[in-house]
Amino acid sequence: MTTHQSVGEVLARTIHHADQLFRRRRPDAVLVQGDTASAFGLGVAAYLHRVLVGHVEAGLRSYDRQAPFPEEVMRILLSQAADLHFAPSEHARANLLREGVPRERIFVTGNTVVDALKDVTRRMPLPDVRALWPVGAVRILLTMHRRESFGSPMLEALRTVRRLAEEDPRVAVVFPVHPNPAVRRAVARTLESHDRIRLCPPVDYLTLIALLRSATLVLSDSGGIQEEAPSFRVPVLVLRKVTERPEGLAPDGNVLVGTSGPAIRAALRRLLAKRPNRALSSPQPSAFGDGRAAARITRILSAALCGTRLVSSRSQFRYRR
């Protein structure tokens, strides 16, 4: 990481160093997860060395090149370099089929994010986060960091959160603030100096999961949280115009609200009027996975490397509500 680095710099460094690595040591396969510049760079470098590329979380599409930016284009291009496409859902699989990806190369596995949730909650106690929450019956976990939200959209959303806290004494907010300077400037202009809005540095994964599990609801523009929250039955007001994860959209689940103040307030009132269910202590299967994605990916990758015929339907995740 370097100060004020651009996405282009990250991409260029990733491709350069991956190219050097593959010249020294040629792997049999490369697995890339998600849609970041580093994932795309590594996948392209592997393709150029004729290494088998498996893409975990394949097929996510918002069909808006500017949102999320630049991830939407990164994942579309990565699909062109990948040999095996590990789609989290049937919806993602359908996206890939529409783009001409061969059917036999697509495997609906669920997403490894649910594997991680189930693993950490089973193997270790989560941190006690009670001291992080301000006093309030309505606990809101807030995260914002998307580049397309920088400027007026982020400022409007954050000002709305502050007004909600000022108007309703039940509201308590925790915001792990992203280190990006654009986010920090917006936070400084809107959320500082309120006794029921707790601003904290970025938290580790276990602490984030503990905060998520203890929240009444979430306000977020994150992609990952849209997958994590449904496993705990915690509703998310998605602070974006479009989402690549429509499987989670539901009146009592993820709700797409954008960054408009009136839309956020109206959606929050509707959710609180329903008295949201208490969050589950352990993650449950959701539209994004059942905790067995990694096992499916392992079997498929092993078969591919051994030259065994792959039958996608035999290693498929199906979600039933």
**128 included as an active-site residue:** no
Whether residues 156 and 236 fall in one domain: yes
pLDDT in tens for each of the 321 residues of the chain?
777 789 999 999 999 999 999 999 999 999 999 999 999 999 999 999 999 999 999 999 999 999 999 999 999 999 999 999 999 999 999 999 999 999 999 999 999 999 999 999 888 889 999 999 999 999 999 999 998 999 999 999 999 999 999 999 999 999 999 999 999 999 999 999 999 999 999 999 999 999 999 999 999 999 999 999 999 999 999 999 999 999 999 888 899 999 999 999 999 988 888 765 566 777 888 999 999 999 999 999 999 999 887 765 556 888 776
List the catalytic residue out of 85, 178, 213, 245.
178
Which amino acid is residue 71, in one-letter code? E
Same domain, 139 and 265: yes
Instruction: Say which of 57, 221, 228, 247 is annotated catalytic.
Output: 57
Establish whether 119 is a catalytic residue.
no
Separation between Cα atoms, residue 159 and residue 161, nearest integer Å: 5
Structural domain includes residue 279: no
Neighbours of 54 (CB within 10 A): 22
Domain residues for 17?
7-111+289-315
In a domain, 261, yes or no: yes
Q: Is 147 designated active site?
A: yes
Q: How many domains, the chain?
A: 2
Check if 90 is active-site.
no
Q: Is 178 among the catalytic positions? A: yes
Read off the pTM.
0.91
Which amino acid appears at position 53 of this protein? V
Residues 75 and 145 in one domain: no
Q: Among residues 105, 147, 198, 292, which one is catalytic? A: 147
Cα–Cα dist 252/229, whole Å: 12
Q: Answer yes or no: do 134 and 265 share one domain.
A: yes
Strands laid side by side in the 217-220 sheet: 197-200, 171-176, 138-143, 217-220, 236-238, 254-256
> Per the structure block, which two tokens stand in for 204?
């580790």
Same domain, 107 and 197: no
Active site residue 167: no
CATH of the domain at 265: 3.40.50.2000
